[in-house]
Homo-oligomer: A and B are copies of this chain.
């Protein structure tokens, strides 16, 4: 399927360049993860929805259209609240997919809304499959079809388990469109070590993945010095940061684990290149559900304050790198 974006003569500015520009302009490396859980939305959003669960409970009968509207209402307000402080939002597909087609519609609207508010959109889908299937995922999530999230998505997270032929279709979809990828290298969850830290020929498995990412980044390196191929490197395991930074000088890091997952800002310094370049840090629940800890504030104000204080804390660390 030929697409206008992919076939235009001069490629658009690359994702990494746009991300770096946003970091300079907003003095921020904060990404806000949009992981909306219906049951945790503020009372005000539930009130505007007019209810989404039928009387008597029973999850099977949840109205997916109303539930999805709730996710969109909430996410759009979060986007407005964090736009001055964050460089990007990172919607996670799972929370939208939960409500089927209606959820996918909401996801697409949320991506567009973020773009409208001047935020970059990193779609956290962690897809990975063999070649012919990866082509379909790349079209779905980085492509140009209206009525899909693709047109409003700037970068996508992917899973490397299938090796290069599962990754290449994403590279081929991303680069001509000036979009980016973040390949899962070392994740931030407690059991990440189970497979990712296994000894593989004298070094942990995730380093072998990182070496492959380094090759893919090298072959797709742009004039700016950046590659569209970045890496997800969890902030909860700071030890490997120095090593990974050396291996991947052309790759942006997406660092989850700050905030609700527990990594302090100071521990994240080594994820950045000198000058505080080349990494963005994600906070999800600590920002989007900030209303739970600040019951006295209007909820969007609680979210804005949480985003501002995360931005400030991270920035104080970043400028000393």
Chain B nearest CB: distance from A194 CB in Å? 3
Tell me if B146 and A95 are in contact (CB < 8 A): no
A/B interface sample: 17 pairs, CB < 8 A: A1-B39, A59-B145, A60-B144, A62-B145, A92-B136, A94-B133, A95-B133, A95-B136, A97-B104, A97-B136, A100-B105, A100-B149, A131-B189, A132-B285, A165-B191, A195-B205, A205-B205
Select which of B134, B189, B199 is within 8 A of A165 by beta carbon: B189
**A105 closest partner in B (C-beta):** B101
- Tally of this chain's copies: 2
Known contacts A92-B133, A146-B60, A147-B64: A139-B191 contact under CB 8 Å: no
The stretch from A9-17, A155-163, A238-246, A305-313 touching chain B is A155-163
CA distance A100 to B149 in the complex (A): 7
Does A201 interact with chain B (Cβ within 8 Å)?
Answer: yes
Contact flags (1/0) for A87-113 with B, using CB distance below 8 Å? Answer: 000001011011111111100100000
Tell me if A191 and B163 are in contact (CB < 8 A): yes
Q: Which of A37, A132, A192 has the largest number of chain B CB atoms within 10 A?
A: A132
Tell me if A4 and B196 are in contact (CB < 8 A): no
Interface size (A, Cβ < 8 Å)?
79
Does A295 interact with chain B (Cβ within 8 Å)?
Answer: no
Chain B nearest CB: distance from A167 CB in Å? 8
Listed from nearest, the 9 A-B pairs whose CB atoms lie closest are A163-B194, A163-B191, A1-B59, A130-B189, A100-B148, A94-B136, A101-B105, A101-B104, A60-B144
**In chain A between 154 and 178, which residues have their CB closer than 8 angstroms to a CB of chain B?**
159-166
